[in-house]
Amino acid sequence: MEKKRILLGITGGIAAYKSATIASKLTQLGMDVRTIMTKAATEFITPLTLQTLTRNPVAIDTFDERDPSRVMHIDLADHADLVLVAPATANIIGKMANGLADDMLSTAILATEAPIVLAPAMNVHMYQNAIVQENMKKLASQGVQYIEPGEGQLACGYVGKGRLAEPEDIVTWVQSFFAHKHLLSGKTVLITAGPTIEAIDPVRYLSNHSSGKMGYALASAALSAGAKVILVSGPVSLTPPNGAEIIQVKSAQEMYDAVLSHIDNVDIVMKAAAVSDYRPKEVLSQKRKKHSDNWEIELIKNPDIAYEVGKRKRAGQLLIGFAAETENIERYAREKLEKKNMDFIVANNVLQEGAGFSIDTNAVSVYGKDGLISAYPVMPKRTLAEKLIKWVGEQL
């Protein structure tokens, strides 16, 4: 943990007093902790306390520029390996979700490219408020992570969820975050994502509802874990993660060719794409006009990418498939795993609320050759991707 650079944001809630313990423990671990406090936070704990514990000055006022050679909020934003806001009030969450920057902390957060984790702390009804939850969901979809608040007696007198996580748990989370960044160091991961499209004529095609969000989240998580990532993507409306090698494809045949051309040079294959099983036998060169009420299209089978990868898989290479089902989830997933020589398969029920296509959440079960390994409830796809990548790293 030595030399890891933490930007600690402290906002105005009674739980701010716990931030002193967080800052102290992180500093004792050898981390370089820089602190930004909101003016409201200084009503609960003094900047001098944080300065003494971290041995670094505390930033509060956006316009308190002490060094003419640098802009402080940009310098702090660039300095961080991780931005930790603890406690994170409903106010800072709302600002972040809407791109507001009216103080030192919100400005630095908007300027940073470092990962961000929030440790919320507020009244139980504030935490459950639909707007707060929507803001949190919005931030999660953009990669912001959370350290869940605890349940119990709150300072306001209510009992419920909203207590800041214990300082020891927050520090443990930070340690795990940096340990996770090296889980896949030296490994190359090939991930397929999104749908494929099969042309019928120059203006029509067959496809499916896949948005690519799960595959892209896996690619981001694998990059964060230190892997080299090759992302073979069907047509999606997503921004590719920085650092990944992107191979854009359209049809199942193009995806098949791209995957097999790289299979010998990767350690892990994660087949998260929703590949079209069939394609039209004949692709018309001109747009078909409405000549009749019926139009029969003969379909032929596409090459099975996962099956071919399973045949060619070498010792030590992991093949992880994905199965989107609507019934008999375990039976179909395990049949697919056996037939295609996969090591593991991640299955979900696309009819389950919160687990279908084109949304930001998912719920999955992971199966191996001996059956169910683990089940993950509905959560943001980015969070799920991090958990799956961490699990994959542990398998290696």
Indicate if 155 and 46 belong to the same structural domain: yes
Indicate if 251 and 160 belong to the same structural domain: no
The CATH number of the domain holding residue 349 is: 3.40.50.10300
Residue 85 has a pLDDT of 98
Residue 1 has a pLDDT of 54
Task: Provide the token pair at 328.
Answer: 């008999």
Mean pLDDT, 10 residues at a time, the chain of 396 residues: 87 96 96 97 97 96 80 89 97 97 96 94 94 92 87 78 92 87 90 97 95 95 93 94 94 98 96 96 94 91 96 94 95 96 96 91 95 93 91 88
Q: Into how many domains does the chain fold?
A: 2
Give the Cα separation of 320 and 325 in Å (integer). 16
Indicate if 235 and 381 belong to the same structural domain: yes
Indicate if 200 and 241 belong to the same structural domain: yes
Indicate if 304 and 168 belong to the same structural domain: no
Bridge partners, residue 274, by sequence: 195
Contact 362, 323 (CB under 8 A): no
Task: Provide the token pair at 133.
Answer: 């939850």
Place of tokens 């874990």: 225
Give the Cα separation of 126 and 13 in Å (integer). 13
Indicate if 246 and 290 belong to the same structural domain: yes
* Residue 81 is labelled as binding a ligand: no
Q: Count other Cβ atoms within 10 Å, centred on residue 314.
A: 8
Residue 160 has a pLDDT of 81
- CA distance readout (Å), 322 to 219, 220, 236, 272, 365: 14, 17, 18, 5, 10
* Residue 340 is labelled as binding a ligand: yes
Give the Cα separation of 233 and 227 in Å (integer). 18
Three-class SS of residue 310? helix
Indicate if 156 and 238 belong to the same structural domain: no
Q: Count other Cβ atoms within 10 Å, centred on residue 132.
A: 20
Query: Residue 44, Cα to own-chain centre: how many angstroms?
Result: 33
Give the angle subtended at the CA of 58 by the CAs of 55 and 59, to the nearest 5°. 150
Q: Which of 180, 198, 223 is the last residue of a domain?
A: 180
Residue 176 has a pLDDT of 84
Indicate if 192 and 172 belong to the same structural domain: no
Residue 112 has a pLDDT of 94
Residue 333 has a pLDDT of 96
Task: Determine the structural domain holding residue 373 and report its residue range.
Answer: 188-395
Three-class SS of residue 346? strand
Task: Provide the token pair at 50.
Answer: 């944080």
Residue 154 has a pLDDT of 76
Q: Which of 152, 180, 208 is the last residue of a domain?
A: 180
Q: Which of 180, 212, 242 is the last residue of a domain?
A: 180
Task: Provide the token pair at 194.
Answer: 């999104």
Q: Where are the alpha helices (DSSP H) in 10-150?
A: 19-28, 47-54, 72-79, 90-97, 104-111, 124-128, 130-141
Indicate if 21 and 153 belong to the same structural domain: yes
Provide the greatest CA pair distance for the chain.
81
Q: Count other Cβ atoms within 10 Å, centred on residue 64.
A: 10
Indicate if 378 and 287 belong to the same structural domain: yes
Indicate if 176 and 238 belong to the same structural domain: no
Indicate if 153 and 219 belong to the same structural domain: no
Q: Which DSSP string do the residues of 173-212 spell out, in sequence order?
A: HHHHHHHHTTTTTT-EEEEEESB--EEEETTEEE-----S
The CATH number of the domain holding residue 102 is: 3.40.50.1950
Contact 259, 269 (CB under 8 A): yes
List the catalytic residue out of 131, 156, 246, 375. Answer: 156
Q: Count other Cβ atoms within 10 Å, centred on residue 8.
A: 27
- What is the side-by-side strand order in the sheet with 116-120? 58-59, 32-37, 5-10, 82-88, 116-120, 145-146
Does the annotation mark 156 as catalytic? Answer: yes
- Write the DSSP symbol of residue 69: T
* Residue 277 is labelled as binding a ligand: yes
